[in-house]
Amino acid sequence: MPSQAPSHTPVMVVEALQCLRPHSGGLYIDATVGLGGHSAAILDAAGDGARLIGIDQDPGALDLAQERLRPYGPAVTLVEANFADLDAAFDEVGETDADGILMDIGMSSYQIENSGRGFSFTRDEPLDMRMNPETELTAAHVVNRYREEDLEAVIRDYGEERWAGRIARAVVERRKQGPLATSRQLASLIEGATPGSARRRRHPATRTFQALRICVNDELGALRLGLDKALDRLRPGGTLCVIAFHSLEDRIVKRRFRAAAESLEPTYELLTKRPMTAEDEVLDNPRARSAKLRAIRRAPTSGNADDSES
């Protein structure tokens, strides 16, 4: 449980609202409700009669979102789910489609600073990294049980880490003395295994921690499924807006949106030919540095085969 209610500054709120254009009476899905910052902004911008369904796979985040969004009363429904199961989340609340869907992927400050699950290499916590504590795979299992070549592939493919081979070798060597148990143990091992040049711009464990988190939570698989389902669930004129924090995610969003924009039925319009970024927010919110926002809108009147023949 969180030790205290942390604050999480939502990124690119203005840009997200520009794309989503919330309106009164609309139905909005925040597929990554986190601490509820974007959700509150959407409801404030929409005004009377709008409703919001907030989804998160982390029950700890949902507890905090519930507190934050309490003033909006019955306008908000919270659902514990993975956005890969967006259909189930819609079914649970008896809805079929929405005017706007937001995905602000990645971790919240609560998960990094207060969850105690080893997401940060600056803390000494058990190597867990599950966003949904009910799933089976933990970072400790990946680090202590994967074969060296599989661990190297995880670190290279999900962390785009140049020194993946060295790091995997050092982990396998070290675990002969007993399992690696905490985030700090892993971070200092990585520090020792990488050359000084790897430390210039960021902590040398940054990419490995990202890789483990992506692997443990199957983040890229969930994103692919979530995008397909979110595109299907847009009402005519509805918008899907996605904020991604690293190139692996952004590439998936870019490709899926391009494919959707080329489809004939339903038709979609790209609202961002290039991703929007948030340079002006970086001083206040370091998370903004790598944020990329892309949005796509379902055509207001999607012609179908019957319409075109009449």
Phi, psi of 97 (to 5 degrees): -155, 170
Looking at beta carbons only, is 174 or 287 nearer to ligand SAM?
287
Q: Is 101 in the site for ligand SAM (CB under 6 A)?
A: no
- Interaction mask 183-222, ligand SAM, x per CB under 6 A: ---------------------------------------x
Of all residues in the shown chain, the one whose CB is closest to ligand SAM is 34
Tokens of 51: 């409703």
What gap in Å lies between CA 217 and CA 15, rounded to an integer?
27
Looking at beta carbons only, is 105 or 167 nearer to ligand SAM?
105
3-state secondary structure 181-244: CEHHHHHHHHHHHCCHHHHCCCCCCHHHHHHHHHHHCCHHHHHHHHHHHHHHCEEEEEEEEEEE
- Interaction mask 12-41, ligand SAM, x per CB under 6 A: --------------------x-xxxxx---
Per DSSP, the residues of 34-62 read: TTSHHHHHHHHHH-TT-EEEEEES-HHHH
Looking at beta carbons only, is 58 or 152 nearer to ligand SAM?
58
- Interaction mask 49-78, ligand SAM, x per CB under 6 A: ------xxxx--x-----------------
Helix and strand tally (H, E) in the chain? 13, 7
306 CB contacts (<8 Å, ≥6 apart)? Answer: none
Site size toward ligand SAM, by CB under 6 A: 23
Q: Is 256 in the site for ligand SAM (CB under 6 A)?
A: no
**Pairing state between β 234-244 and 292-298:** antiparallel
Tokens of 73: 């009363």
Binding test (CB under 6 A) with ligand SAM, winner from 105, 140, 155, 276: 105
Binding test (CB under 6 A) with ligand SAM, winner from 29, 78, 108, 194: 108
Query: Min. distance of Cβ 83 from ligand SAM in angstroms?
Result: 4
Query: Min. distance of Cβ 181 from ligand SAM in angstroms?
Result: 24
What gap in Å lies between CA 68 and CA 138, rounded to an integer?
29
Residues in contact with ligand SAM by the rule CB under 6 A: 8, 10, 32, 34-38, 55-58, 61, 82-84, 104-108, 131, 222
